[in-house]
Chain A
């Protein structure tokens, strides 16, 4: 690596960008595959709700687990960018959540639209919290084993 490249911020390094791109493509493909397999129920995109909640859980678990193993460097950063920023970032989505909520509200289905949007955010936050808690528990048991 040239000295100039070493000082370049992470988001402008081609290798990191490529990791995010590959992870994002895989995550997007997984999201679309699941969405196609589980069509909306009565206009409510249940698959996207589950994808967002599961992705929120996994990102909390992944990032907290990585942070507990040490600073964001070495092998941890490429793993974070490929699986966190790329894969789980592309797997979960906000624009579809907002557009589907707007569509439900626009169709006069106020309760459905509000419930869908607020449920995603509240259950998503709980899932993230659970993922962080799981990372903390597994880290403690690993330390107890002297690992």
Chain B
């Protein structure tokens, strides 16, 4: 993995801010268009971000992309874009409302799905 120089660290932070802003916009957009108990915005963000980080990691491992991309676009942008704390809060709220199936799906279902998505992305990236 590339060295975290001050410049790379600064870019990584800015990328993380942009990723968080992208999450805010996409979550708001999805919220306006969906109803029901499941937090589709966070689910879609975490699944898509996990797939993209897997893909990026595969591409860097295959040396199709320089290692700094992993830090800035991966750790920075996709790290800021995806979030664990909100996912955990939404899961707990569903469990507190005794919506067991929805809570298990957003908790355990998403971690299984996100891991599979990351693995799929990595596999595709390593093929390139």
Contacts and interface: CB of A to CB of B under 8 A. Distances in A.
Contacts of B84: 52, 55-56, 92-94, 97, 120, 124
A59 B88 contact: yes
Contact of B118 (A60, A99, A127): A99
A21 B80 CA distance: 9
The interface centre, meaning the residue of A20, A27, A95, A105 with most chain B CB atoms within 10 A of its CB, is A95
A65 interface: no
B34 interface: no
Contacts of B87: 94
Contact of B83 (A10, A89, A106, A120): A89
B115 A95 contact: no
Interface string A6-31: 00011110001100111111111101
A11 B21 CA distance: 9
Given A32-B4, A32-B12, A96-B75, A105 B115 contact: yes
3 closest Cβ pairs, A-B complex = A28-B16, A24-B20, A11-B28
Interface of B: 4, 9, 12-21, 23-25, 27-29, 32, 46, 49-50, 52-54, 57, 74-76, 78-89, 91-92, 95, 107-108, 111-112, 114-119, 122
Interface in A68-114: 81, 84-86, 88-99, 101-103, 105-106, 113
Contacts of B74: 95-96
A89 B54 contact: no
20 contacts: A24-B18, A25-B80, A27-B16, A28-B17, A59-B85, A60-B88, A89-B85, A92-B85, A93-B82, A94-B50, A94-B83, A94-B87, A95-B46, A95-B52, A95-B53, A117-B112, A121-B91, A125-B92, A128-B88, A132-B92
A105 B21 CA distance: 31
Contacts of B79: 28, 31-32, 90, 93, 95-96
B83 A93 contact: yes
B13 A20 contact: no
A89 to B, nearest CB: 4
A73 B31 CA distance: 18
A121 B79 CA distance: 17
A27 B87 CA distance: 16
Contacts of A92: 83-86
A146 B33 CA distance: 42
The interface centre, meaning the residue of B20, B25, B54, B74 with most chain A CB atoms within 10 A of its CB, is B20
A94 B82 contact: yes
